[in-house]
Amino acid sequence: MIARPGAGPLRRLAVLRHAKSAWPDGVPDHERPLAPRGRRDAPAAGRALADADCLPDLALCSTAVRARRTWELAAAEWGTPPPVRHDARLYAADVPELLEAVRGVPAEVGTLLLVGHNPGLEELVLTLAGDGLGDALDAVRVKFPTSAIAILAWHGADWTALGPRTALLTDMMVPRGKKPGGGKTGKEHPGPR
């Protein structure tokens, strides 16, 4: 990505879909906990963000239990986690609601982590990405599974300048934790988002 003169500093938005959740009987959707696989995958997401040198200055996280727990387990992998704002608007949010939350981030934040839900997160990434490196954009179009991370880069004086097709999708990854005994987890099965 080539910066235009006066376009502002490089900014990054890391979009993390919550880890795999459980579906216990009688538990409202907002209160669903992480499944065992989710509890393994969330720390792997934290390690993947560190390995990608994409630790956030601030995190915006849905208030849903599965998103909050994903954040806690991912951030526990870092020496000093950044501040987090739990935002009720991010639960079941669509693209305009997600953009409203992101555009309210202070200008001094260079890297932002957004922890939430599908289909909103997948649609946000596809809306913001004007292009992608390698096959990252195609990978998001195929599937944005639980624990998936998309990293978008763009230049802007502040977060209000972020809009459709203004960012470059630099990476898309799906970190997975190891099952007890050292085996890798299986492929994700289609199901509720």
Sign of torsion over alpha carbons 55, 137, 116, 67: negative
Q: Is the distance from CB of 74 to CB of 43 less than 8 angstroms?
A: yes
The structure's pTM equals: 0.89
Q: Which of 6-20, 90-104, 170-184 has the lowest average pLDDT?
A: 170-184
Task: Give CA separation, 109 vs 113, 136, 159, in Å.
Answer: 10, 24, 9
Question: Residue 8: its pLDDT value, please?
Answer: 81
Which pLDDT score, from 0 to 100, does residue 42 have?
98
Question: Which carries the bigger pLDDT value, residue 178 or residue 85?
Answer: 85
pLDDT in tens, 44-74: 999 999 999 999 999 999 999 999 999 999 9
Average pLDDT over residues 70-97: 96
Query: Residue 73 in contact with residue 175, Cβ under 8 Å?
Result: no
Write out pLDDT tens, residues 126-179. 999 999 999 999 999 999 999 999 999 999 999 999 999 999 999 999 999 988
- Give the pairing type, strands 10-17 and 111-116: parallel
Q: How confident is the model at residue 77 (pLDDT cuts 50, 70, 90)?
A: very high
What are the pLDDT digits (tens) for 179-191? 876 554 443 433 3
